[in-house]
Amino acid sequence: MPEVAIYAGTFDPVTYGHLDLVQRALRIFRRVILAVAHNPGKEPLFSVAERVDMLRQVTGDLAGVEVDSFDGLLVHYARSRQAKVIIRGLRALSEFEHEFRMALSNRKLDSEVETIFLMPSEIYSYLSSALIKEIVTLGGHVSEFVPALVEEKLRGKLGQAGT
pTM as predicted? 0.90
Q: In this predicted structure, what is the pLDDT of residue 74?
A: 95
Residue 36, pLDDT > 90, answer yes
Amino acid symbol at 2: P
φ and ψ at residue 70, rounded to 5 degrees: -150, 155
Closest CA to 150 of 61, 52, 22, 58: 58
Active site residues: 18, 42, 91, 129
Instruction: Tell me the angle at which helices 48-59 and 16-26 cross, rounded to the nearest 10 degrees.
Output: 60
Q: In this predicted structure, what is the pLDDT of residue 134?
A: 93
Q: Which one of 3.40.50.620, 3.90.25.10, 3.30.160.270, 3.40.50.300 gives the CATH number of domain 4-125?
A: 3.40.50.620
Helix runs in 9-87, H state only: 16-26, 48-59, 74-80
Most confident of 72-76, 91-95, 157-161: 72-76
